[in-house]
Structure formats: C-alpha cells, structure tokens
Structure 1
Amino acid sequence: MNSSDITATSELGLRLIVPDRAAVPLAARLDYTADDPYAIKVAFHVGEDEPVEWIFARELLTVGIVRAVGEGDVRVWPSKDDGERTINISLSSPFGHAQFDAQVSPLAEFLHRTYEIVPAGQEGDYVDLDAEIEQHLCS
C-alpha cells in the first residue's frame, strides 16, 4: 500500500463571514490519513502567518452536509447560496469566533476519497488501541 492509498489532501475555497462586511475569500487545506481514521485536519490560510489548524471529526463534516450538527466550539450546517449548496462551519475558542461557508461539492468529493481509504464503520480496524494506551501511559 502506498501513501496515496492511506492519505487524502485537498484545497478548499471558503469564505470568512464577517458581520456587516463582505465575505472574505480564504483557502483551507484538508488532510486525512488512515493513521488517524476518525479525524480530518483543516489548516485555514488566513494571511502570511502560519495557518490556523483545527481537527474535525470526519463524521461531523459528513453529517453537516445534510443537517445541522455539533455543539459548543464546532457547529456545521447546510444551506443554499444563490441556489448552490453550501456548508457552514462555526468555530469558537477562547481567542474568538469565526464562521465560514464553502461549496458542498468539493468537500463531498474529498470526503468520498476518505471513505474509499477507510470505509465508514471500519475506523477501529485502523487504530492500534494497545499502542495508543501505551503511548499515553509512557508520556
């Protein structure tokens, strides 16, 4: 198995929703690996600084395409913008709040690739629980 069989990467165009202003276009890099089958790492490129990284549950983004999901710091829900299906992502942290939207189709294509790598319900087959426990006990 080569690395492309166990990883997926994509660039996603999104917009930062700013109250009382025009939305700001941004790019985000999505990374998925079978080594961490439940998670998708999203790096938001917000300027010349290092990207801001968040880890999302793959299932959260998948469900968020069809219905509102999440609570607390991360919420995801679908909507339509000029007839185009979009997904909204709301993030909160002690440092502030941000809301983004993006077209569903490129995100859905990326998610489809992740499910080709690790099918839904088989994530546990890719996690070595004993090694994870040992790593946390020895840290």
Structure 2
Amino acid sequence: MRITHDLIAYQVLSDRRSRAVATRLEYDADHPLELRMVFHTDRRDPVTWTFPRSLLLDGLGRPTASADIRIQPGGHDRRHLVSLLLTGEDGIALIEAPAAELGAFALHSLRLTPRDPNPPSPPQPISWPGRDARAGSSTSSTP
C-alpha cells in the first residue's frame, strides 16, 4: 500500500524571506525503510528526495542527519515547524514544513509498517552550525 500527503512547505531564502513550495510526501509499504519528498518548484520537473524513513521519525524529536540531509525540530522563531537542510549537486536548500503534518504522515506510515527495531545504520545526532541549544535559535544568518 502507498500513502501520500500534500502540504505547503517553505524554502528559506534569507532571515526574512521564504517562498511557499507545494510538497508531496510519499511512503510505499513495499519499500518500508524509505520515504520520498517531492518538491514542486519553479523548475520544469519536480525535485525528489528519497531518504530513510527513520531519519524523519527521529528528526521530529531531535536534530539528526544522514549523508546529505539534516532534520531539526523547531524551525525559526520557535514555530511548530521542522527544518530540513538538503545538500545536493545544485547547492543547499533549507526547507521548513509543518511538524503536525509531518508527524501525522509518519504515524500513518508506522500504522502500515512498524518501525524496524534494528535499522541498518541509525541516523546520528548532530549539532547545527551557527545554532545554540534552543531549537531554532540562530546565532548567524546562514544555515
């Protein structure tokens, strides 16, 4: 079974500017360890990121990272957002998405397929450069 959820996320462009990005979350029980986020930007084709489901599950509660994706709960100004720092061939994007919608999607995926008690390589907690201990507090203007 496959589930999807459409939401509006925000690409952070600077401390005071962001732009809305139509985003689709996808989970397929046939591939239980991964999920996809599809961003519909101003590009011709959508931008798709596939990453371990466990990364999102862990990132809803604490900062975590795996390879080119960092996830941190809290977002800027302590809003109820989750920050995703995506590093790819074209550069770096900071995306903020509603924590409640990500959490509901994650819970729905867990109802389909419970979490693997022995994931192959668990995400490691990380510290965010330029951020102090308070979730979402920035001590510099760059992510």
Same fold (TM over 0.5): yes
SS for the counterpart of 1:101 is strand
Displacement after TM superposition at 1:72 (Å)? 4.0
Q: 1:13 aligns with which of 5, 8, 11?
A: 8
* Offset at residue 100 of structure 1 (A): 0.5
Deviation for aligned residue 1:84: 3.4
Match of 1:102 in 2: 97
The aligned residue for residue 25 of structure 1 is: 20
Runs of 4+ aligned residues of structure 1 deviating over 6 Å after TM superposition are none
Aligned partners of 1:117 and 1:52: how far apart in 2? Answer: 26
- Higher-Rg member (1/2): 1
Spell out the pairing of 1:32-51 with structure 2 (5 A cutoff): 32-47=27-42, 49-51=44-46
Are the aligned partners of 2:75 and 2:96 in contact in 1 as well (CA < 8 Å)? Answer: no
Question: What does 1:48-127 align with in structure 2 at a 5 Å threshold?
Answer: 49-80=44-75, 84-121=79-116
Percent identity between the aligned chains? 28
Higher helix proportion (structure 1 or 2): 1
Tell me how large the CA RMSD over aligned residues is.
Answer: 2.1
Tell me, yes or no, if the aligned pair for 2:75 and 2:83 is still in contact at 8 Å: no
Distance in 2 between residues matched to 1:47 and 1:26, nearest whole Å: 9
Greater Cα offset, 20-29 or 109-118: 20-29
Q: In structure 1, list runs of 5 or more residues that go unmatched.
A: 1-5, 125-139
Mean CA deviation greater in 31-40 or 21-30: 21-30
Is this contact kept in 2: 1:7–1:117, CA < 8 A?
Answer: no
